[in-house]
Each structure stands twice: as structure tokens, then as C-alpha cells.
Amino acid sequence: MPFNWLDYTVIGGYILLMVVVGYIAQKRGQDTLEDYFTSGKDLPWWLIGISMVATTFAADTPLAVTGIIASDGIAGNWIWWNFMFSGLFTVFLYAKLWKRADVITDVEFISLRYTGKPARILRGFRALYLAFPINCIILGWVTVGMAKILTVLFGAQNMVVNLGPIAMEGEWLIILVMYLFIGIYIAFSGLWGVIITDFIQFIIAMGGSILLAYYAVSYVGGLDQLQTEITELFGVGHSMLSINPLNSPDIAIATALVWVGMMWWASWYPGSEPGGGGYIAQRMFSAKDEKNAVGGTLLFNVAHFALRPWPWILVALVAMVVYPGLDDPETGYPLLMLKLLPAGLLGLLAVAFLAAFVSTVSTHLNWGASYVVNDFYKPFLKPESEFESKEKAQKHYVAVSRWTTLLMMLAAVAVSLMFDTVKGGWEAILSIGAGTGLVYMLRWFWWRINAWSEIAAMSAAAIGSFLAPVFGYDDFASKMIFTTIFATTIWITATFITKPDDEETLQRFFDRVKPGGPGWSRFLKQGEETYSLLPGIGYTAISAIAIISLLFGMGQIFFESMALGLGCFVVGIGGLWYVVQKI
């Protein structure tokens, strides 16, 4: 069904709404880097939690889930579900610590935790490394997802626009215009504009996803008929509807074990960094206090892993039935949008994807610019001491931040042209970061880790990911195992052969952040006690069981046993209710 005037009216209304939000954000006041990149550090838990969820709901995400299910069934989603474990550790062990650190970016934490020339090298390198290659790779796969949606919905691949000597395919011209709009919008609105955009986007995108799931399941005759169709497609005894990755013949045991047992603590991945980090840490810095930082991060993990996936899963299953044998299974999602949704609703879901794209891109442009300005430009190129006053310095840094946001926009568009699939981008990031996760977790709880530990981990992970195929480790699981062992061995060795940070820096960090556990016992003052890590680990385990119970329960309600599904729901809600009382 083609778009009509009602659909275009809905899309136009959304764009107008974003213009209004951007105008209000610009008028709100952004006099300092803290205002611009952390919204004044006064946001409530529900707003930062929804913002985290919205940012991870990019235009690429439903498409990636559709491709994963077509290849490996529902259990294939453990490639990202496994990060619930690192996410929940962030909630109960790290969120309070990040808030106490009171920095603007997670890279600035390096100057708080370490000292000397290695710390300066690490801070400058990591700022540029995350801002450009890593951030642009992420935006690359997000943009590929949006390009596929535009290609299907608007038939943009059949349109070629001549811009003087340059000929550009229609979907990329649309994306270029969108990037320009988003770049200008975020350059002037800062993080507050991102947060408000995220809130609006989450409502639209989640509602649109549920509507499409309803239409899709109804189109094939209901859930029972969908199950029958899948059995006819894959044969009796198939595992396409199983949530257990160890029970799927399409998923190698080694791959499943890497997903569940290793990847969540070993690999750095945006939005699920071991120990917290990136834009998740940025949202925690923006919270009013420690309690709001913890509450917002818990809301994110529950919504991200337990509430949001099933509408995508149902649409992905219907797409397999309606469009079997697609050359690119990821396009099954937008194809169903075009096929099933009536006028108005089609425009609404197009707005949902547009909103998802805007939310994710705006976060990454703002996040990347924060690294460039706060962690490279400010400390190394134009220190605050060179200005007549602090006010003039902050005004200058905010202006540079706006121009840097536009620079990030151009770099992201250029990198986007190098990607073909969403899943390929995911695996590239996971491989490059394999083996670094443990050092990011332990640096909070073990005084002996120093800047060289992180430098060694990052370098060894990148080298290991390239060496793995040379030694015959070509598949994803074996490559992850090799790189993790290689990088971990290197960074632990580097830790013990280099000098620890000076006592004054370590004591100052301990006094400010108050990390728990035995790793800082030598810095305790007489009569002072540190808190135990065991309760946080226990709450993490309870929350993980609760989220898995909710995921499994939904599957049971849809395809197996209503009674068992409701029982799982009771377990899940009960577990979450218990830990919420402990926050």
C-alpha cells in the first residue's frame, strides 16, 4: 500500500514537533559543558531510563532481530540478550560509583583514576578512538538499517538524483538530508534535546511496534496458525521458537556458550559496556542523585531485555512465513509494514522508525562530540587556563561542541557507505573489543590496575581480532575465545610489570568514589569500613532470573502453555519488585 496524504501529514507533524523541541532546548540555557553534555545533572530516573531504552531502539534493531531469527530462530537473540548480565551488574555495582565520580564523560574518569603520562595518553587516544572509528561504525550499521527501510517503503532504490558530477541513490540522498537535520538539531539542543527526543520516540516507536505485531499475527490467522505455518516451513521438531540457545541445532554449542558464558563480561559493546560506560554512563551522570542513577539504569535493563523484544520477534516470525527465501531477510520487517498497515498507521510506523533513527543518531553525535571536546580539545589543545575567565572558557567549549557535532555527522555518513548488513557491524565491534571488558570492571575494585592495563587491553584486543583468522580461528565463537584469552593475558601481564599509580591519586579516588570490596582495603582509614559486594551480586542474579522468566513466560503464553507463562510472569514481577525495594 503506497503512502498517501495522511501518512505524509503524520510524518510532517513529527518533524514539526522536533523543530519545536529543538527551539525550546536551545532557549533552555547551555552555558557550560555540563549543561550541554549532561543536561545540568538534574534528571529523574524515569526520564534517563526511557532515554537509554530509546537510544538502543535504533532503526536497525528490528531489522537485525528479523535477520537473526531467520537464521537462528528466537534463541539467536542471545547474541544481545546476554548483555543483560553486564547491564544488571552496572545497575547494582557501578551506577552509584559513576554518579559519585561526578565527571562529564566516562573517558574523563581516566584522569580521576590514573595519573601521569600514561593516563594522558590513554585519555586522549580513547577519546578519539571512541568518537570517530567506533562511534562511526555504530552509526554506520544504524544508517544501513534506515537505508533498507527507505528502500522498501519509498522504493528509493529506483530513484537516482544527479547533483552536478555526483549521482546519488535516492535512499542515501534522503539519509543525507536527515543527517543534516539531526546534526543541526543536536548541535543547538544538546543533551536535553536528545533526552526529550528519546522520550517522544519511545512512545511512538513502542506503540508502532505493537501495532505492527498485532496486524502481522492477525494476517496469518493468529498465533496458533503462525506456529503451524512455521512447523510446515521448518519441519516437525524444529527449534525456531525455542528461547534456549543450547537446545538449537542451528546454533553451535561453542557459539551459545560464548554468548551466555563469556561475551557479556569480556567484550566492550555500546550500551552494554562491562562496568558501564558510553552513553549509558552519560545518562547516569545526568541523574539527580545516586538513587535516580540506579533506578534509571534498572528501568533501562528491564525494558530493553524483557518488555521490548517480543513485538519484534512476532513480526520476524510472520515475515519468515509471508516472505520465505528473501535474499536479505532483514527487509522482511519493512515489507510487512508496507503490506499490512492502512493509511495513517503506515505513516505512524514510518515516523516510529524515523524517531528511532533520530534518537540513536542524536545520542551518538552528542556522545562522540563530548569525547572530542571534553577529553581531547579541552585538556590538550585549549586548556581552560588560557582563557581570561571560566565563563569565557565554557562559552568557547560549547561553541566548539556544536561544530564538532556537525563534524561527527559528516564522518558518520562517510563510514555508513562501507556497511551492507547490521549484524556484520555488531560482530565487528564485539571482535575488536573482546578481552577488554574485565579490565573495565575490575578497575573500580582493584587498586593495582593502572593506565597501562587499559592501553594493553585495547591494543591486544585489536591485534588479537586480526591475528585470530591467521591461526585458523575464523568463526565468531573461536575468534572471540582466542581474542579474549590473548588480550586478557597481555593486560594482566602489563599490570604486574608496570608501576601502580601513586598513593596520593589512589587515595583521592578511593575517598571520592568509595568503591567496595577487598581490593581497596589498604586505603581504608582507621575505623573506616567498606561495603560488601555480595548484596549487589545477589540482586544482579535475582534480576537476571526475573528478566529471563519474563522473556520465557511471553514465549509460553504465545506458543505453549498459558499457565506456565503466567507462572513465569509472577516469578519475574516478584523478583523485580523485591530488588526495587532494595534500591
Residue 364's nearest CA partner among 33, 524, 137 is 137
Retrieve residue 240's grid coordinates: 525456531
Q: How many CB atoms lie within 10 A of CB 111?
A: 17
- 473 and 382, same domain (yes or no): no
Residue 515 backbone dihedrals phi, psi, to 5 degrees: -70, 150
pLDDT at 309 over 90: yes
- 554 and 500, same domain (yes or no): no
pLDDT at 222 over 80: yes
Can you tell me the distance from the alpha carbon of 18 to that of 25, in angstroms, rounded to the nearest whole number? 10
Can you tell me the distance from the alpha carbon of 60 to that of 212, in angstroms, rounded to the nearest whole number? 16
Model pLDDT for residues 79-96, shown as the tens digit of each residue: 899 999 999 999 999 999
Task: Provide the pLDDT for residue 150.
Answer: 74
Contacts 24+ apart (CB under 8 A), 568-571: 571/545, 571/546
- 555 and 526, same domain (yes or no): no
User: For a pLDDT cut of 70, what percent of the chain falls above it?
Assistant: 93
Q: Look over the chain and give the mean of its residue pLDDT values, rounded to a whole number.
A: 87
Q: Which of 419, 453, 469 is the last residue of a domain?
A: 419
- 453 and 397, same domain (yes or no): no
Segment holding 56, helix H or strand E:
helix 45-56
Task: Provide the pLDDT for residue 420.
Answer: 59
Residue type, 128: L
Higher-confidence residue of 360 and 454: namely 454
In a domain, 453, yes or no: yes
Can you tell me the distance from the alpha carbon of 125 to that of 112, in angstroms, rounded to the nearest whole number? 16
Retrieve residue 298's grid coordinates: 534498572
Can you tell me the distance from the alpha carbon of 385 to that of 383, in angstroms, rounded to the nearest whole number? 5
Residue 18 backbone dihedrals phi, psi, to 5 degrees: -65, -35
In a domain, 558, yes or no: yes
Task: Provide the pLDDT for residue 172.
Answer: 66
pLDDT at 347 over 50: yes
pLDDT at 66 over 60: yes
Residue 330's nearest CA partner among 63, 140, 149 is 63
- 374 and 463, same domain (yes or no): no
pLDDT at 1 over 70: no
- 297 and 337, same domain (yes or no): yes
Which residues lie across from 161 on neighbouring strands?
Answer: 168
In a domain, 413, yes or no: yes
What's the domain count of the chain?
3
Retrieve residue 301's grid coordinates: 535493563
- 411 and 463, same domain (yes or no): no
CATH of the domain at 203: 1.20.1730.10
Exposed / middle / buried, residue 420 (Cβ in 10 Å: 0-12, 13-18, 19+): exposed
Can you tell me the distance from the alpha carbon of 516 to that of 510, in angstroms, rounded to the nearest whole number? 9
Q: How many CB atoms lie within 10 A of CB 129?
A: 16
Higher-confidence residue of 388 and 305: namely 305
pLDDT at 163 over 60: no
DSSP per-residue string spanning 342-400:
PTTHHHHHHHHHHHHHHHHHHHHHHHHHHHHIIIIIIIIIS-GGGSSSHHHHHHHHHHH
Residue 473 backbone dihedrals phi, psi, to 5 degrees: -95, 85
- 309 and 387, same domain (yes or no): yes
Task: Provide the pLDDT for residue 4.
Answer: 76
- 467 and 488, same domain (yes or no): yes
Can you tell me the distance from the alpha carbon of 207 to that of 132, in angstroms, rounded to the nearest whole number? 33
Can you tell me the distance from the alpha carbon of 340 to that of 346, in angstroms, rounded to the nearest whole number? 8
Residue type, 347: G
pLDDT at 552 over 60: yes
Measured between alpha carbons, how far is residue 583 from residues 273, 531, 535 in Å? 21, 15, 11
Task: Provide the pLDDT for residue 457.
Answer: 96
Model pLDDT for residues 11-35, shown as the tens digit of each residue: 888 888 877 877 777 666 677 888 8
In a domain, 231, yes or no: yes
Contact 23, 262 (CB under 8 A): no
Model pLDDT for residues 397-431, shown as the tens digit of each residue: 989 998 998 888 888 877 777 665 555 666 677 77
Which residues lie across from 160 on neighbouring strands?
Answer: 169
Higher-confidence residue of 39 and 492: namely 492
Task: Provide the pLDDT for residue 563.
Answer: 94
Q: Which of 419, 453, 470 is the last residue of a domain?
A: 419
The residue-averaged pLDDT of 425-446 equals: 86
pLDDT at 511 over 90: yes
pLDDT at 321 over 70: yes
pLDDT band at 146 (very low <50, low <70, confident <90, very high): confident
pLDDT band at 100 (very low <50, low <70, confident <90, very high): very high
pLDDT band at 7 (very low <50, low <70, confident <90, very high): confident
Residue type, 583: I
- 501 and 558, same domain (yes or no): no
How would you label 146-172 residue by residue, b for 16+ Cβ within 10 Å and e otherwise? bbbbbbbbbebeeeeeeeeeeeebbbb
Contact 208, 352 (CB under 8 A): yes
Residue 419 backbone dihedrals phi, psi, to 5 degrees: -105, 145
- 97 and 183, same domain (yes or no): yes
Residue 161 backbone dihedrals phi, psi, to 5 degrees: -110, 130
User: For a pLDDT cut of 90, what percent of the chain falls above it?
Assistant: 50
Model pLDDT for residues 252-288, shown as the tens digit of each residue: 888 888 888 998 999 888 788 999 988 999 999 999 9
Task: Provide the pLDDT for residue 165.
Answer: 45
Task: Provide the pLDDT for residue 294.
Answer: 95
The residue-averaged pLDDT of 175-193 equals: 80
Task: Provide the pLDDT for residue 154.
Answer: 66
Q: How many CB atoms lie within 10 A of CB 18?
A: 23
Residue 326 backbone dihedrals phi, psi, to 5 degrees: -65, 140
pLDDT band at 161 (very low <50, low <70, confident <90, very high): very low
In a domain, 426, yes or no: no
pLDDT band at 134 (very low <50, low <70, confident <90, very high): confident
Higher-confidence residue of 204 and 467: namely 467
Residue 27's nearest CA partner among 196, 177, 181 is 196
Segment holding 160, helix H or strand E:
strand 160-163
Segment holding 534, helix H or strand E:
helix 534-559
pLDDT at 297 over 60: yes
Coil, strand, or helix at residue 374?
A: helix
Task: Provide the pLDDT for residue 424.
Answer: 60
Lowest mean pLDDT across 18-22, 87-91, 359-363, 380-384: 18-22
Can you tell me the distance from the alpha carbon of 41 to that of 175, in angstroms, rounded to the nearest whole number? 32
Task: Provide the pLDDT for residue 416.
Answer: 72
Higher-confidence residue of 302 and 145: namely 302
In a domain, 427, yes or no: no
Q: Which of 419, 445, 478 is the last residue of a domain?
A: 419
Retrieve residue 30's grid coordinates: 547551555
Can you tell me the distance from the alpha carbon of 189 to that of 181, in angstroms, rounded to the nearest whole number? 12
Domain extent, residue 555, equals 536-583
Coil, strand, or helix at residue 166?
A: strand
In a domain, 261, yes or no: no
In a domain, 340, yes or no: yes
Q: How many CB atoms lie within 10 A of CB 179?
A: 22
Q: How many CB atoms lie within 10 A of CB 545?
A: 14
The residue-averaged pLDDT of 514-540 equals: 86
Task: Provide the pLDDT for residue 10.
Answer: 80
Can you tell me the distance from the alpha carbon of 559 to that of 554, in angstroms, rounded to the nearest whole number? 9
Coil, strand, or helix at residue 469?
A: helix
Report the predicted TM-score, pTM, of the whole model to 2 decimal places: 0.89
- 523 and 545, same domain (yes or no): no
Can you tell me the distance from the alpha carbon of 282 to that of 191, in angstroms, rounded to the nearest whole number? 9
